[in-house]
Amino acid sequence: MTNKKIIARIESEEIFNWQLEEEMQNYAYEVLKKDIEELDPYELTLARNEALEKIIGGELFYLEALTANITANENEVNKYLSDFMKNFTNSQEYELYLSNRGINKDDLIKLIKKHIIKDKFLSILLKKIPPVTAKDAEKYFEKIKDKISNPPKISLYLVYIFNPTEEERDKFRAAFSTLQKRKIEFPLAEKIVRDIKQIIPSLGEDKIIQKNIDNLDQRVTRKLLNMEEGCFSEIIETEKSIEIIYLIAKVMHVPMDDEEGKREAGKYLAIVRTKKVLDAYIDMLKEKYKIEIFL
Q: Give the containing element (helix H, strand E) for 291.
A: strand 291-293
CA 54/CA 161 separation, integer angstroms: 40
Helices and strands: H and E segment counts in the chain: 10, 8
Q: What domains are defined for the chain?
A: 6-128 (1.10.4030.10), 153-251 (3.10.50)
Q: What is the pLDDT along the chain (295 residues), one digit of tens a residue?
A: 346 799 999 999 999 999 999 999 999 988 887 888 888 999 999 999 999 999 999 999 999 999 999 999 999 999 999 999 999 989 999 999 999 999 999 999 999 999 999 999 999 999 999 999 999 999 999 998 888 887 888 899 999 999 999 999 999 999 999 999 999 999 999 999 999 999 999 999 999 888 877 777 776 777 777 889 999 999 999 889 999 999 999 888 777 888 989 999 999 999 999 999 999 999 999 999 999 999 8
First-to-last alpha carbon distance for the chain, in angstroms, is 19
186 in Cβ contact with 156 (< 8 Å): no
